[in-house]
A and B are shown apart, each in its own frame.
Chain A
Amino acid sequence: MGDILSGGGDRPGLSERWDALPRRGRQLLVALVGCALLAGAAVSVLPAGPGKSRPAHTARHKVPYPVHSTRIGFVRILDVDARNRSFRIELRAVTKDPVLVRRISQEYQALTMKLDPAQAVMVRPERAEPVWVRARVTSCRDLPVRARLPFLDITLRNARASQDLSFILGDRYARALDRVFRTVCGPSSRR
């Protein structure tokens, strides 16, 4: 059985190309390949730097769910209209990723709420965005007063998902709401 050529062709092989290189060219190529190999090894072996030292985290960026990227805080209640039992609430939204505030309500039987104006509010990461809500007391009977942690149900949508979330706005909101209930319904609304 004679020798069998298992590869090749008419182009020069690797060793022939190597032989054809001048000495300085060979040195440069060896240094470059060495650098590339070491850099690759370093990336795969070395631990993350201080700023990236997160526990068990993935490096890739994925837009988080709205619950993890958006914060909504209470600013003030204004434009209280005792005759119509209505008022406005100013909120402030901040987000890490663009998010749409689509709907706001508070599940009190005697209270209606809607965005004012009645269209979704786009919040971008660069700055805090005011969100206005128009609220109206529909009945002074059974209106909860002195509740400690009323919350708003807010629908948020971003590139990842749409979520119905509760935002518990804290003591300042609770007290402001209490005051406005007493204003529009009078002291007799007290439980």
Chain B
Amino acid sequence: MRHRSLLILTATVTVGALSLSACGSRDGKSGGDSGEKTTVVIGVDAPLTGDLSALGQGIKNSSDLAVKTANKNDEVKGVTFKLESLDDQAQAGTGQQNATKLVGNDQVVGVVGPLNSHVGQSMQKVFGNAHLVQVSPANTAPELSQGPNWQKGQKKRLFDTYFRTSTTDAVQGPYAAQYLYNKRKLKKAYIIDDKKTYGAGLAGTFTDEFKKLGGKVVGTDHINPDDRDFSAVGTKVAKSKADFVYYGGEYPAGAPLSAQITKAGSKALVVGGDALYSEEYIKLGKKNVEGDLATSVGAPLETLDTAKTFMKDYKAAGYKLPYEAYGGYSYDSTWAIIQAVKAVVEKNDGKLPDTIDDTRKQITEAMQDVRFEGVTGDVSFDKYGDTTNKQLSVYEVKDGKHKPVKTGTFQEG
């Protein structure tokens, strides 16, 4: 009896295996996918140490998750992806050195990053000369994709290797101005920036729109982003009776600035862009930053069904730090490179071109047509390399957390 059962089981498996031809179709090339695999590298550049490392580590981890997912699913037949992450410390010079290093590695087929717009600016030419595609999940300064004269309506793409998945400050600043002036009825602003490409640019687009709406700028200041003592500025803000402070800059200085404005006796909210939308802002500023506002790219991930698996997988992967503001965008940036590689492999009869130069050129060309449903929504790029998914949200610090209060979509008619 026992022998008979074993015989039945064995016969079932054997016949089942032999009956593959009856279950599906095969082209007779058995073992066609058993060939050797090519390993390619996706570079990541972000601030992995220093004040902005929370955002940088979120970028690195999210890219890592995308690479692991692609390898696990055998997303591109015959290709294994590897990640090489470099720390730019939020410094333009270091970013440029990293770009040169990545270009010099003939396994690198694309780069995700960086976080900071001024770092992105320093890398663009290096990648452009090498035809190496770059997809930033976080650069928001419009000139990176649209050229220095974008505000005069003279948009010009300078590097066809540059793409980004985040919305630009061309939308973020004016959206914040419209929201604060019309919705919140806040009419008196004190404008502060950190003199960097991102901070000064964002404060500029905000101020321009705010004034056009009828808002009054009651004071302006520039700060050094490495300082932590802003008591003098806090006193000036308190005297100005501003309804709010618009800060163009990042959270490491933004949080103590907000705290010291409160301590100086001002009731002004501090409002800023995506670089204030970090858990670190609240950790650093504690209760002093309650009520502060930040705009950030995209809709809240919690409203995206496509993001839920990402959030679950990120947690399951056991990364020590959260994915932060740009996690979803980093995953999508990495996935965009993977999809471009896939398109090139498919175009070249199942393999990558013979030379790295040709591979990089073709991947850059393929990136323009990449289109997929990503963690952050539909991912594709316009003629400037900007994302076509131009959503952004306003978040308010409530009970020690950033809570979404408004989401907007930019839709050019």
B69 in contact with A170 (CB, 8 Å) = no
- Contacts A149-B171, A172-B412; A38 near B309 (Cβ below 8 A): no
Size category, B interface: 35 or more
A58 in contact with B309 (CB, 8 Å) = yes
Which residues of A (122-173) have their CB < 8 Å from a CB of B?
A: 142, 144-151, 153, 163-173
CB distance from B404 to the nearest CB of A (A): 11
Residue of B at shortest CB range from A39? B23
Task: Mark interface residues in B1-32 (1 if CB within 8 Å of A CB, else 0).
Answer: 10011001001110111111011100000000
B23 in contact with A55 (CB, 8 Å) = no
Bound CA–CA A38/B13 (angstroms): 9
Which residues of A (14-69) have their CB < 8 Å from a CB of B?
A: 15, 18, 27, 30-31, 33-35, 37-39, 42, 47-48, 50, 53-58, 62, 64-65, 67-68
B375 in contact with A165 (CB, 8 Å) = no
Bound CA–CA A34/B410 (angstroms): 54
B73: Cβ under 8 A from any A Cβ: yes
A75: Cβ under 8 A from any B Cβ: yes
Residues of A with C-beta under 8 A to B18: 34
B4 in contact with A64 (CB, 8 Å) = no
B374 in contact with A55 (CB, 8 Å) = yes
Which residues of B (279-330) have their CB < 8 Å from a CB of A?
A: 299, 303-306, 308-310, 313
Residues of A with C-beta under 8 A to B313: 56
- Contacts A165-B407, A166-B406; A147 near B66 (Cβ below 8 A): no
B413 contacts which of A34, A53, A54, A172 (Cβ < 8 Å)? Answer: A172
A81: Cβ under 8 A from any B Cβ: no
The listed residue with most B CB atoms (<10 A of its CB), out of A15, A168, A173, is A168
B15 contacts which of A30, A48, A108, A150 (Cβ < 8 Å)? Answer: A30
A168 contacts which of B12, B171, B304 (Cβ < 8 Å)? Answer: B171
B303 in contact with A65 (CB, 8 Å) = yes
Residue of B at shortest CB range from A71? B411
B73 contacts which of A30, A31, A35, A48 (Cβ < 8 Å)? Answer: A48
B128: Cβ under 8 A from any A Cβ: no
- Contacts A33-B16, A53-B73; A151 near B413 (Cβ below 8 A): no
A173 contacts which of B8, B11, B309, B413 (Cβ < 8 Å)? Answer: B413
A30 in contact with B12 (CB, 8 Å) = yes
Residues of B with C-beta under 8 A to A58: 305, 308-309
B19 contacts which of A34, A67, A149, A165 (Cβ < 8 Å)? Answer: A34
A73: Cβ under 8 A from any B Cβ: yes
- Contacts A144-B213, A166-B407; A57 near B306 (Cβ below 8 A): yes
Residues of A with C-beta under 8 A to B373: 54, 57
- Contacts A18-B8, A165-B408; A34 near B16 (Cβ below 8 A): yes
B214: Cβ under 8 A from any A Cβ: yes
A55 in contact with B183 (CB, 8 Å) = no
A54 in contact with B171 (CB, 8 Å) = no
B75 in contact with A47 (CB, 8 Å) = yes
B51: Cβ under 8 A from any A Cβ: no
B178 in contact with A54 (CB, 8 Å) = no
Bound CA–CA A151/B181 (angstroms): 12
B244: Cβ under 8 A from any A Cβ: no
Residues of A with C-beta under 8 A to B183: 107, 153
- Contacts A30-B11, A37-B12, A151-B175; A64 near B305 (Cβ below 8 A): yes
Residues of A with C-beta under 8 A to B377: 68
B209: Cβ under 8 A from any A Cβ: yes
Residues of A with C-beta under 8 A to B214: 142, 144, 191
- Contacts A56-B375, A145-B212; A168 near B410 (Cβ below 8 A): yes
Bound CA–CA A33/B74 (angstroms): 28
Bound CA–CA A166/B174 (angstroms): 13
Bound CA–CA A35/B373 (angstroms): 33
CB distance from A145 to the nearest CB of B (A): 7
- Contacts A34-B16, A62-B305; A170 near B178 (Cβ below 8 A): no
A166 contacts which of B73, B175, B413 (Cβ < 8 Å)? Answer: B175
Residue of A at shortest CB range from B20? A38
A37 in contact with B171 (CB, 8 Å) = no
B266: Cβ under 8 A from any A Cβ: no
Task: Mark interface residues in B318-351 (1 if CB within 8 Å of A CB, else 0).
Answer: 0000000000000110010000001000000000
Residues of B with C-beta under 8 A to A33: 12, 16
A181: Cβ under 8 A from any B Cβ: no
Chain B residues within 8 Å of A, Cβ to Cβ:
1, 4-5, 8, 11-13, 15-20, 22-24, 65-66, 69-70, 73-75, 171, 174-175, 178-179, 182-183, 208-209, 212-214, 299, 303-306, 308-310, 313, 331-332, 335, 342, 372-375, 377, 390-391, 406-413
Given contacts A34-B16, A54-B373, A145-B212, 9 further A-B pairs with CB under 8 A are A35-B23, A55-B335, A56-B375, A58-B305, A58-B308, A62-B305, A167-B411, A170-B413, A173-B413
7 A-B pairs with least C-beta separation: A34-B16, A166-B408, A74-B413, A170-B412, A107-B182, A149-B174, A56-B309
27 contacts between A and B (CB under 8 A): A15-B5, A27-B15, A30-B15, A31-B16, A31-B22, A33-B12, A35-B22, A56-B310, A56-B375, A57-B309, A58-B305, A65-B304, A68-B377, A71-B409, A74-B411, A108-B182, A147-B178, A148-B209, A151-B178, A164-B406, A165-B406, A165-B409, A166-B407, A167-B408, A167-B409, A168-B390, A171-B412
Chain A residues within 8 Å of B, Cβ to Cβ:
15, 18, 27, 30-31, 33-35, 37-39, 42, 47-48, 50, 53-58, 62, 64-65, 67-68, 71-75, 106-109, 142, 144-151, 153, 163-173, 191
